[in-house]
Amino acid sequence: MLLDFDYFFAQCEELRNPSLRDKPVVIGVYSGRTEDSGAVSTANYLARHYGVKSGIPLFLAKKRLENVDSVFLPVDYEYYEEISDRIMQVLNSHADVFEQVGVDEAYLDVTKKTQGSFEKAGELATTLKQLVKNQVGVIFSVGIGPNKLLAKIACDVNKPDGLTTVKPEEVESFLNPLPVDRLIGVGRKISQKMSDLSIRTIGDLSRCDVQRLVAIFGKTLGVYFHNASNGVDNEPVKETGQAESISRIATLKQNTRDLALISEKAGVLIGDIHRELLQNDLNYRQIGVIAVLSDLTIRNRSQTLEQPTNSVETLRDEVRLLFDKLLNEETSEARRIGVKVSQLSKNDKNQRQLTSYLQN
C-alpha cells in the first residue's frame, strides 16, 4: 500500500493552529525579492477550490483569493519533518517492509501480514488511518494494489482521506480509462506526444505494440510505458534506512593458516554482527567472509542460504566452512579477516501482534 499525507504542509499548519481549518490556507516559498514573489508550495483543499495549487506564483494565488478570508504562510520544513517523523514511526511497525518516500509518502509491503488478502489490507489501512489520526492528528490517503505502481495510482484517485483498493483482477478495468499522465514519467511533453499519436488513456497505451513504443520513446521509456500501462511493476518495497549489509573486520594477532585461530577471531566478529541483527530485528540470507592475506591481496567467499534467518549457530558454521574453503584454495597466510551478512530482511515477529490487534 502507498500512504500519501493529504495537503501535507498546509495540514501541518492547520494542526498547529486549528482556527485555520475553515479558511483557504496557502503555504508559500517566498523568494524575498518582493513581498509577493515566490511560488506556492501547497494549499489546503479550500484554497484549491479557488484554483490555488503547488507551483503557481504567489501573486497569482493572492489574486485568486482576492476578497477571500485566506491565510498565507511561509514554509517551515523543520516543523513538517517533525510531524512526518512521528507519523512514520507509527506506520513503521505495521509493515513487513517499510519504505519512506520523501516527507509525506510511504510504501508498506503488507503481503505477509495480511496473508495476501486485499480485504485484510483494507482493514489494516483503516486501522492505520485511525491510529495516526488519534496519535498525531493527520489524515492521509491510501492506495492498495498488487504492486507499487498500482498502489500509487490508486492512492491518487481519491483524496483527501481516501482509501482505494485495486485487486489483481481489477487492474485492467481500473487502469484502462485513466489518462496517460497518471503514470509516473508522463509529463506534459510526453502526454502531448502521445496525444498526437491518439494515445490518450492508459488503455490506449497498453494496446500499443511495445516495439512501436521503443521506436518512439527509446528502449527504457518504451518498455516502461508498455509494462506500466499493463499494470506490470516488479519494484520491491525497500526498507528505509536499512543497511544493505552488516560487516566486521579485524587483524589477527599473527599471520596464520590455522582454521581454529581464525574461527576464534571470527567468533568475536560474529557476536557483534549477531547483536546488531537482533537490535534491528533483521534476518540475513547471505554470508560472506573476507581475508587479507600476508601479501596484502584480498580474497572473498560467500554463501547464500535457502531461507533468511537470524541464527548465530548457522552464521558460525557457515563462516567456518567458508574460511576452510578459502584456506584450501590459497597458499598464503591470513593477516586480517572479516565477516559479512547481507540480503537483510525484517524479522516477522510483529506479524502475530498485528493479527491479534486486528481481531480485537
Active site residues: 105
- Judged by beta carbon distances under 5 to 8 A according to partner kind, the member of Ca ion, ligand TTP, none in contact with residue 9 is ligand TTP
Write out the E strands in the chain: 2-5, 25-30, 38-43, 71-74, 97-101, 105-109, 140-144, 163-165, 245-256, 282-293, 298-309, 334-342, 345-346
Among 2, 8, 58, 96, binds ligand TTP (CB under 6 A): 8
- Residue 160 binds to ligand TTP (criterion: CB under 6 A): yes
Residue 180 cell numbers, joined: 496517460
Which of Ca ion, ligand TTP, none is residue 55 near (CB under 5 to 8 Å by kind)? ligand TTP
Q: Which stretch binds Ca ion (CB under 5 A): 6-14, 126-134, 273-281, 305-313?
A: 6-14
- Judged by CB, which is closer to Ca ion: 104, or 239? 104
Angle, nearest 10°, between helix axes 312-329 and 259-279? 140
Residues 77-136 that bind ligand TTP (CB under 6 A): 104
Q: Is 55 in the site for ligand TTP (CB under 6 A)?
A: yes
Q: Read off the C-alpha cell for 207.
A: 494496446
Stretch that binds ligand TTP, among 3-11, 185-193, 231-239, 271-279 (CB under 6 A): 3-11
Contact 149, 142 (CB under 8 A): no
Is 182 one of the binding residues for ligand TTP (CB under 6 A)? no
Does residue 245 contact residue 234 with C-beta atoms inside 8 Å?
A: no
CB of 289 closer than 8 Å to CB of 323: yes
Q: How far apart are CA 8 and CA 12, in angstroms?
A: 6
Write the DSSP symbol of residue 154.
H
Query: Can residue 4 be called a binding residue for Ca ion (CB under 5 A)?
Result: yes
**Of 143 and 231, which has the nearer Cβ to ligand TTP?**
143
Which of ligand TTP, Ca ion, none does residue 177 bind (CB under 5 to 8 Å by kind)?
none
Number of residues that bind ligand TTP (CB under 6 A): 13
Closest CA to 108 of 237, 241, 5, 283: 237
Task: Please tell me the count of residues contacting Ca ion according to CB under 5 A.
Answer: 4
User: How many whole angstroms separate alpha carbon 53 and alpha carbon 47?
Assistant: 8
Closer to ligand TTP by Cβ: residue 142 or 277: 142
Say whether residue 109 binds Ca ion (CB under 5 A).
no
Residue closer to Ca ion, measured from CB, 44 or 206: 44
Only one of the segments 2-10, 92-100, 163-171, 281-289 lies at the binding site for ligand TTP (rule: CB under 6 A); that segment is: 2-10
Stretch 85-104 residues interacting with Ca ion (CB under 5 A): 104
Cα distance from N-terminal residue to C-terminal residue, the chain: 22
CA nearest 103: which of 116, 85, 122? 85
Q: List residues binding ligand TTP (CB under 6 A).
A: 4-9, 41-42, 54-55, 104, 159-160
Q: List residues binding Ca ion (CB under 5 A).
A: 4-5, 8, 104
